């Protein structure tokens, strides 16, 4: 089916959200490669990347080569104390993300972190208190929804009633392990937060967003290290059932078992069941069919529909985040959603039964 034949039109791709010079931002913390797309997303939406810092000089130099507009700072304090900088985006080690965020906010700047934004309920409480105290934002780039065009388009057509009331979401989030490429902290559950806190954060974010729910309770969850005894701190499998405050139900599975033969890092899928139809997203690949992701399948009363939406939808999150920083609004994502997702993830992780 061509895009023209798909029963829902595309919204215009987002343009610049602000004038040049209106939104200077900085980067602190490059422990996960997600930082590159975070910086690129803000730049594309109109932000000016003015400074960057990481204690690892190799990472910092590499980053400034890829983003030559960023000046390499000499310390974290130099960035935090730079009065031009309105916001900091970061991909620190997960257990350090909260403390960094609070330092950023206490310097009067908004914070946009890679997921998972925190790894313990204590950190959730600290972040909530810092938000209240500083009146700055602690925002999170849940990339599998906010940076995937299939996910963004799905959210748009659900809002137009494409599948009626959302009843159930099932998310499969397999990822390739590539153990040799991972830093040591990746294999330390206290630092990574565990597989549900890490990979599951995308899933909880999507569930609450698609279902239009405020929060969810954990019905059951499991973790396992099925096949990696050489990494005892790794959980290579996790799953959970959640029930939202509005009655919608969810299941997700996350794992590190993507086989080498897959053409990308993981075959992430989301299927959303509504009263009047369902949507399946093949977000990163359409196996044995199309190496491109961003595939949206919709089955409704009228028929079966398919469209590949790559480069048609954009990522409105970044421009909205910039406007929220400037206008003190909550259009990109509410502060409460960002923190509730973290809290639900951590509870799901904590309640998980270990499978042998």
Give the contacts of 277 (CB within 8 A, at least 6 positions apart): 162, 163, 164, 298, 299, 300, 301
241 near its own copies, judged by CB under 8 A: yes
Select from 247, 311, 327, 331 the one that contacts its own copies (CB under 8 A): 247
Select from 182, 222, 231, 312 the one that contacts its own copies (CB under 8 A): 222
Least separation in angstroms between CB 298 and its own copies: 8
276 near its own copies, judged by CB under 8 A: yes
Select from 267, 294, 324, 343 the one that contacts its own copies (CB under 8 A): 267
128 near its own copies, judged by CB under 8 A: no
Least separation in angstroms between CB 83 and its own copies: 51
Q: Which of residues 74-113 bind its own copies (CB under 8 A)?
A: none
Rounded to whole angstroms, how far apart are CA atoms 221 and 351?
7
Q: How far is CA 140 from CA 8, 116, 354, in A?
A: 29, 8, 28
Rounded to whole angstroms, how far apart are CA atoms 234 and 205?
23
Determine whether 1 is exposed, middle or buried from the number of CB atoms within 10 Å of its CB (0-12, 13-18, 19+): middle
Stretch that binds its own copies, among 89-97, 131-139, 167-175, 315-323 (CB under 8 A): 167-175
Least separation in angstroms between CB 355 and its own copies: 6
302 near its own copies, judged by CB under 8 A: yes
- Tell me the number of residues near its own copies by CB under 8 A: 52
Q: Which neighbouring-strand residues pair with 90?
A: 113
Beta-sheet pairing, 216-224 with 166-174:
unpaired
Q: Which is nearer to its own copies, 228 or 320 (CB)?
A: 228
350 near its own copies, judged by CB under 8 A: no
Q: Which is nearer to its own copies, 48 or 300 (CB)?
A: 300
261 near its own copies, judged by CB under 8 A: yes
Give the contacts of 312 (CB within 8 A, at least 6 positions apart): 3, 10, 13, 149, 153
Give yes or no for a contact between 98 and 126, defined as CB atoms under 8 angstroms apart: yes
Stretch that binds its own copies, among 69-77, 82-90, 201-209, 269-277 (CB under 8 A): 269-277
Select from 154, 204, 224, 346 the one that contacts its own copies (CB under 8 A): 224
347 near its own copies, judged by CB under 8 A: no
Give the contacts of 316 (CB within 8 A, at least 6 positions apart): 14, 152, 332
Rounded to whole angstroms, how far apart are CA atoms 116 and 193?
8
In the sheet where 295-299 sits, what is the strand order?
Answer: 304-308, 295-299, 277-282, 269-274, 166-174, 249-255, 237-244, 216-224, 353-355
Find the length of the chain. 356
Which residues sit at the interface with its own copies, rule CB under 8 A? 1, 165, 167-168, 170, 172, 174, 219-220, 222, 224, 226-227, 237, 239, 241, 243, 247, 249, 251, 253, 255, 257, 259-263, 267, 271, 273-278, 280, 287-289, 297, 299-306, 353, 355-356
């Amino acid at each position: 089916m061509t895009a023209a034949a798909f029963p829902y039109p595309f919204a215009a791709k987002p343009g610049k959200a602000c004038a040049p010079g209106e939104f200077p931002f900085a980067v602190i913390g490059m422990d996960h490669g997600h930082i590159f797309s975070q910086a690129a997303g803000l730049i594309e939406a109109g932000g000016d990347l003015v400074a960057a810092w990481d204690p690892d000089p190799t990472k910092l130099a590499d980053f400034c080569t890829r983003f030559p507009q960023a000046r390499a700072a000499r310390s974290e304090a130099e960035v935090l104390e730079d009065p031009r900088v309105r916001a900091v985006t970061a991909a620190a080690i997960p257990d350090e993300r909260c403390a960094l965020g609070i330092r950023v906010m206490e310097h009067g700047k908004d914070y946009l972190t890679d997921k998972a934004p925190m790894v313990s309920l204590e950190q959730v409480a600290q972040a909530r208190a810092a938000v209240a105290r500083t009146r700055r934002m602690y925002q999170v780039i849940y990339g599998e929804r906010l940076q995937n065009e299939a996910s963004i388009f799905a959210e748009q057509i659900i809002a137009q009633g494409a599948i009626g009331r959302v009843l159930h979401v099932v998310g499969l989030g397999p990822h390739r392990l590539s153990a040799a490429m991972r830093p040591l902290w990746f294999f330390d559950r206290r630092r990574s937060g565990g597989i549900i806190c890490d990979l599951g954060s995308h899933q909880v974010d999507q569930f609450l967003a698609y279902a239009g729910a405020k929060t969810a309770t954990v019905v059951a969850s499991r973790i396992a290290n099925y096949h990696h005894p050489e990494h005892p701190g790794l959980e290579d499998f996790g799953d959970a059932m959640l029930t939202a405050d509005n009655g919608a139900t969810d299941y997700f599975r996350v794992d590190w078992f993507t086989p080498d033969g897959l053409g990308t890092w993981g075959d992430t899928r989301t299927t959303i069941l509504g009263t009047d139809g369902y949507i399946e997203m093949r977000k990163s690949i359409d196996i044995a069919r199309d190496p491109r992701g961003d595939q949206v399948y919709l089955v409704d009363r009228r028929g079966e529909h398919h469209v590949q939406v790559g480069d048609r939808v954009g990522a409105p999150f970044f421009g909205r985040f910039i406007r929220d920083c400037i206008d003190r609004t909550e259009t990109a994502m509410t502060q409460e959603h960002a923190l509730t997702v973290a809290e639900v993830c951590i509870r799901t992780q904590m309640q998980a039964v270990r499978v042998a």
